[in-house]
Structure 1
Amino acid sequence: MEIMEGAALCFESRGYAATSLDEVAARISSTKGRIYHHYASKAELFLDVYRTGMMMNFQAIEPLLEHDMPPVERLKAVLGAHVRCVIRTKAFQNVVIQGVDMLRHGTMPANEHAELAQLAELRDAYSEHFSKLLEDARAAGAIDYSRIKIALNSLFMCINGPIVWFTPREGQAEHDIEAVADECVLYAMRLLGYSGEMP
């Protein structure tokens, strides 16, 4: 995990193309040989960081998906879990975003490009959870939207925002991070026309 964490920070700060395995090794005070012991290439390491970032997201929300609660409360809970995960694993989530762009622009060799496409299917499966949450909350009359694709994309822009603009400060209190997450959820819910109570 140390290698992936170091790599995620390097990819986040410099991007895939500008990051070298030497830089990753320096970040974790290790040797490039140690990295090559686990990964055959930079691309393989990048893809593992991407996959891990997605699995972190799934692990954050899946325990809440089957909770016995009103649909809108489940939606709020899952949105909150996602935002908190995004904040706490920001470097990994930044790699996920880079991977999406790389797939769109075809900037990886064929073998790695095929794996990027498989990871995109994982993202689609993750997105499906949110589609279901939106449909259930809408059926219950708690939110409203005209087109689910637009609602879903707008929702993700809101709850993924911290990947772009949030930078944790050293020693930042946990309640400050919670407040950021709660506000992201508030805006996301208001975007969906929800007028009920929020934390």
Structure 2
Amino acid sequence: MSLGAKTAKPRILDAAATAFATHGVDQTSIDDIARALGATKGKIYHHFGSKGELVCAIRKHSVQLTIDRVRPYFEAQNPPPEKFHAMAQAHVIAMISELAYHRVVVEEMRGSGTGRITDSERQLRVEITTLQSEYEDMFRNVLAKGISSGAFQDQDLSVTVRSFLMMLHAPIYWYKPRGPENCQTIANHLANMALGAVLVTDSKTCTVTHGD
């Protein structure tokens, strides 16, 4: 099986994310990923200079996938509580839909070693940090507008964003596929929890129960 030039990188990322999430980053070699693809490891090294670079590319892709799912709800012209809920719900669905990618991120953060850091890997890490900041800023923007309008509690934006995002990440650790309805129910439940944590006391009946 050959890898077409236009589809090679996405296919490599998908195969690597699945292999790393299933067997562990440290326990999975480039040879293992090549076998899963039905290709040579040279094909992988053509696109990624090292295993560490491949892991970083997965991390970057995981953030971009989440941004792509959440941004349309951020750009929608809705009141802050409705916008926040929709964004939080989309975030959870992203965690569940791209589970392998996000589980690799968690394992890498726990300290999986991939050897010497290359210049390309170092650049990818800078790009990941930039994307993460861009993503958190979308939620900060909505929170700031909600605070200004009186809908949200006046809280430290950075602490609040990072705290509720940790909660919205939760399915990475325990989710098992049970169908789209289960996914939507979990996303709605966690989004309601996140919204309840930022609404002012007399607005906490504003939780949302419908889908997106």
TM-score, length-scaled by structure 1: 0.85
Change (3 A) 1:113 1:36: closer
CA gap of 1:51–1:36, structure 2 versus 1, over 3 A, is same
2:186 is matched with: 180
Cα distance in structure 1, aligned partners of 2:71 and 2:163: 21
Instruction: Give the AA of the match of 1:187.
Output: M
**Corresponding position of 1:7:** 16
Q: Is the 8 A contact 2:25 2:108 kept in 1?
A: no
Q: Does 1:152 align with 2:161?
A: yes
* Residue identity matched to 1:138: I
C-alpha contact 1:102 1:108 (8 A) present in aligned 2:
no
Q: Which runs of 5+ in 1 are unaligned?
A: none
| Counterpart AA for 1:109 | I
Percent identity of equivalent pairs: 25
Contact 1:100-1:120 at 8 Å conserved across structures: no
Structure 1 segment 48-67 matched on structure 2, within 5 A? 48-67=57-76
How far residue 146 of structure 1 moved from its aligned partner, in angstroms, is 2.8
- Kindly provide the CA deviation profile for residues 91-150 of structure 1, in whole angstroms up to 9, marking residues without a partner as x: 1122334455569x9975252234313311211111111111111122222221432222
Aligned partner of 2:44 in structure 1 is 35
1:82 aligns with 2:88: no
Q: Which residue does the alignment assign to 1:116?
A: 125
Say what the alpha-carbon RMSD is for the aligned residues. Answer: 2.5
C-alpha contact 2:196 2:207 (8 A) present in aligned 1:
no
Aligned to 2:3: none
Q: TM-score, normalised by structure 2?
A: 0.81
**What code does the residue aligned with 1:34 have?**
K
Runs (5+) with no aligned partner, structure 2: 1-9
2:32 aligned residue (23, 27, 30): 23
Distance, in Å, in 1 between the alignment partners of 2:149 and 2:158 is 19
Aligned-partner residue type, residue 3 of structure 1: I
Q: Is the 8 A contact 2:81 2:151 kept in 1?
A: yes
Aligned: 1:197 with 2:203: no
SS in 2 for 1:68: coil
- Which residue in 1 is equivalent to 2:148? 139
Give the structure with higher Rg (CA).
Answer: 2
Comparing 152-161 and 139-148, the one that deviates more? 139-148
